[in-house]
C-alpha cells in the first residue's frame, strides 16, 4: 500500500480521467454523431499521426522519469525533480501527450464530441491534478522545485 501522506493527493488518476474522456466522447458520438471536418479530408492519417506523436511524447516522458529513479503513478511518492528529456521543455509532458492524444483521436474519427470532452478533461487535469502536484512538489522539494518551475513552463 502506498504512503498517501507522501503523494500529491490528486482527485483522479490521470489515465483514468483520459479513458473516461475517450469513452464519453465515443459514446456521445454513437448516440448523436457530430463531425467537424470537411468531407474528403485525410482525417484518419492526420489524426493517427497526431496520436502517434502524442504517444511518443508520453512514452519519452515516462522512460525519462523512470530512468531518473522517480515514480510515474500519482499515487506513489515523487523521489526527484526530473529536468532532462521532455521535462526540459514542459513540466507536464505526459499530460500534454494525453491532450494531444485526445485531439488526435478526435481528428482521426472526425468526432467533435472527443474535442468537447477535452475541455472538462483539461480542467480536471489542471486543477485536480497539476495544481495538487505543484503544491506537493513545492512542499517536498522547496527551492529545487521553485527553481525548476521558474525555468520550465507548465505546458509549453
What contacts 45, CB < 8 A, 6 or more positions away? none
Dump pLDDT digits (tens) for 100-149: 999 999 999 999 999 999 999 999 999 999 999 999 999 999 999 999 99
Strand spans (E) along the chain: none
Show Cβ contacts of residue 5 under 8 Å, excluding neighbours closer than 6 positions: none
pLDDT digits (tens, 9 = 90+) for 81-110: 999 999 999 999 999 999 999 999 999 999
Where do the structural domains in the chain lie, given as residue ranges?
Answer: 43-151
The upper half-sphere exposure of residue 33, i.e. CA atoms within 13 Å in the direction of its Cβ, equals 4
C-alpha cell at 133: 502536484
Digit-coded pLDDT (tens) for 43-78: 899 999 999 999 999 999 999 999 999 999 999 999
Which H or E run includes 58?
helix 43-67
Amino acid at each position: 500500500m502506498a504512503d498517501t501522506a507522501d503523494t500529491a493527493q490528486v482527485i483522479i488518476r490521470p489515465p483514468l480521467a483520459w479513458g473516461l474522456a475517450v469513452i464519453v466522447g465515443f459514446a456521445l458520438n454513437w448516440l448523436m454523431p457530430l463531425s467537424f471536418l470537411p468531407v474528403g479530408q485525410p482525417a484518419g492519417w492526420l489524426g493517427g499521426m497526431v496520436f502517434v506523436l502524442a504517444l511518443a511524447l508520453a512514452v519519452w516522458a515516462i522512460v525519462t522519469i523512470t530512468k531518473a529513479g522517480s515514480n510515474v503513478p500519482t499515487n506513489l511518492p515523487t523521489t526527484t525533480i526530473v529536468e532532462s528529456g521532455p521535462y526540459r521543455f514542459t513540466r507536464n509532458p505526459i499530460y500534454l501527450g494525453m491532450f494531444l492524444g485526445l485531439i488526435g483521436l478526435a481528428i482521426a474519427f472526425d468526432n467533435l464530441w472527443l474535442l468537447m470532452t477535452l475541455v472538462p478533461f483539461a480542467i480536471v487535469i489542471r486543477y485536480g491534478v497539476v495544481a495538487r502536484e505543484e503544491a506537493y512538489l513545492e512542499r517536498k522539494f522547496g527551492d529545487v522545485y521553485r527553481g525548476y518551475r521558474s525555468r520550465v513552463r507548465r505546458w509549453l
